[in-house]
Amino acid sequence: MFRKVIQNEEELRSITGVPSKLVKNKVIHYLDENCMGFMAKSPFLTMATADENGFCDVSPRGDQNGFVHILDEYHFIIPERPGNKRMDSMHNLLSNPHIGLIFFIPGLGETLRVNGRAEIIADEDLLERMAYKGKRPDLGIVVEVEECFIHCAKAFKRSGIWKPETWLKENERPSAVKILAEHVRQSDLDEEDVRQCLDRSYTARLY
């Protein structure tokens, strides 16, 4: 199908070139004060995992600023709030502990990337520290840091994602309700049923 498929590092670098000294040397292997400060201001992250066969998932996590609980310069906990109970990321981590994270701060183009190894915990005393509105998470994901570094803002500048004037109007946006209803393909479940199900989940099961 494709005539020019890149097969090795040499072919890749012949097109892209090599990174600058700044980019090569930007990776650290622990959380310094700068990284901790970034995480303390971040209300949102994306989490990449893969199972033992390499099948991948990327899942969002979001909460109040600083919702990730930092234990020390090598460890932090991501609270597992109520979700849809698929547990794709959790299943992956049970067989493959490697994890990749990107932390976002609204309005800021640069992001913080953290790679490491993770395990799932149910320690009540630690989970209690992340309770919100009187409800603690049932589980937590402990990440042991192996790499962390700042990622540049080019993707955000190209996309204009933080600029409200670039956003689609409400009537131009894809309908998650319509998409979900069509994907489920259950004759006893129409769009209004799906809408009500989502609304209940968003109002009653955030925490």
For residues 91 and 136, membership in a common domain is answered with yes
Residue 134 forms part of a structural domain: yes
Domain that holds residue 185: 168-204
Question: If phi over 0 gives left and psi between -120 and 50 gives alpha, with beta otherwise, what is residue 50?
Answer: beta
Residue range 109-127, pLDDT digits in tens: 999 999 999 999 999 999 9
For the cut 80, the answer to whether the pLDDT of residue 186 exceeds it is no
CATH number at residue 59: 2.30.110.10
In a 10 Å sphere around its CB, with 0-12 CB exposed, 13-18 middle and 19+ buried, how is residue 205 labelled? exposed
> In terms of Cα–Cα distance, which of 46, 70, 82 is closest to 129?
70
For residues 154 and 172, membership in a common domain is answered with no
> What pLDDT is stored for residue 206 in this prediction?
87
For residues 111 and 196, membership in a common domain is answered with no
For residues 106 and 126, membership in a common domain is answered with yes
Number of domains in the chain: 2
Residue 197 forms part of a structural domain: yes
Task: Give the pLDDT band of residue 174 (cuts 50, 70, 90).
Answer: very high
pLDDT, mean of residues 60-69: 96
For residues 120 and 154, membership in a common domain is answered with yes
Share of the chain above pLDDT 70, in %: 99
Both structure tokens of 100: 């990749």
Indicate the DSSP class of residue 130. Answer: T
Please tell me whether the overall predicted TM-score, pTM, comes out greater than 0.75 for this model.
yes
For residues 127 and 193, membership in a common domain is answered with no
* Cα–Cα distance measured from residue 40 to residue 105, given in angstroms and rounded to the nearest whole number: 10
For residues 38 and 139, membership in a common domain is answered with yes
Residue 151 forms part of a structural domain: yes
For residues 26 and 102, membership in a common domain is answered with yes
For residues 146 and 193, membership in a common domain is answered with no
For the cut 90, the answer to whether the pLDDT of residue 41 exceeds it is yes
Residue 7 forms part of a structural domain: no
For residues 76 and 151, membership in a common domain is answered with yes
Residue 131 forms part of a structural domain: yes
